[in-house]
Amino acid sequence: MKINTRIALCSATLAALMLPAAAQINQRKENQQDRIANGVADGQLTAGETANLEKKESNLNKEEKLMRSEDNGKLTGADRKVLNQQQNQLSKQIYNQKHDAQTQNTNPKSEVGKRAENQQDRIAQGIKSGQLTAGEASNLERKEAGINREVRNDRAANGGKLTPQERRQVNRQQNHVSNQIYNKKHNGRRQ
């Protein structure tokens, strides 16, 4: 089994080396977005961790765009080296966040937990399909993290349960974020 894994890794590395430099950078971005989306979908990444990673991905995209604008739409060898180092660093951060002890802490049996899980799945699908840019995903994840903190604090204050008024408030907030997810996924911007 280890031999098959090494062969697959070597094949993927060889295939990546044969891609033009710009395609390699784009392929890495796509792979990292897939890893983040998978972490969101399976609960390995909390909303806060995802927002942080997406913000870093967005900043990296902005830096690449700036580098290209300075060199007539092209990346110099030095630019590619810098971007590769930054992508390596981000890749390590994705790995570390996915493998730390934090997980998305929702109660999938409660209505609030089911909604939170559904919205995380929709964000993950948007990241994976490219319908959400890194900045849009970061913004949505920050809002989800805020709702999750509020639910956690309300439950802690009420012996593990939400009052009917708190449930209505969370439902309104989730409706608002749900609409934003839809709008951002359908605004024509692509990753």
For 120-133, the pLDDT digits (tens) are 888 888 887 888 88
pLDDT tier, 189 (very low <50, low <70, confident <90, very high otherwise):
confident
Residue 178 has φ and ψ, to the nearest 5°, of -60, -45
pLDDT tier, 86 (very low <50, low <70, confident <90, very high otherwise):
very high
Three-state secondary structure call for residue 35: helix
At residue 6, does pLDDT exceed 80? no
In the predicted model, what is the mean pLDDT of the chain?
A: 82
Could you tell me which of 128, 16, 28, 22 has the C-alpha nearest to residue 65? Answer: 22
For 50-67, the pLDDT digits (tens) are 878 888 888 888 898 899
At residue 1, does pLDDT exceed 50? no
Q: Are the C-beta atoms of residues 152 and 166 closer than 8 Å to each other? A: no
Give the DSSP letter of residue 186: T
Amino acid 3: pLDDT: 60
For 161-187, the pLDDT digits (tens) are 889 999 999 999 999 999 999 999 999
Give the DSSP letter of residue 7: H
- DSSP H helical segments within 71-133, as ranges? 77-98, 111-129
Q: Are the C-beta atoms of residues 116 and 41 closer than 8 Å to each other? A: no
For 138-162, the pLDDT digits (tens) are 888 888 888 888 888 888 898 888 8
User: Any idea which residue has 């927002």 for tokens?
Assistant: 51
Residue 51 structure tokens: 């927002």
Amino acid 146: pLDDT: 86
Alpha-carbon span 51 to 61, nearest angstrom:
15
pLDDT tier, 7 (very low <50, low <70, confident <90, very high otherwise):
low
Alpha-carbon span 191 to 189, nearest angstrom:
7
Could you tell me which of 33, 37, 141, 51 has the C-alpha nearest to residue 87? Answer: 33
Please state the pTM of the whole predicted model.
0.64
pLDDT tier, 18 (very low <50, low <70, confident <90, very high otherwise):
low
Alpha-carbon span 177 to 118, nearest angstrom:
12
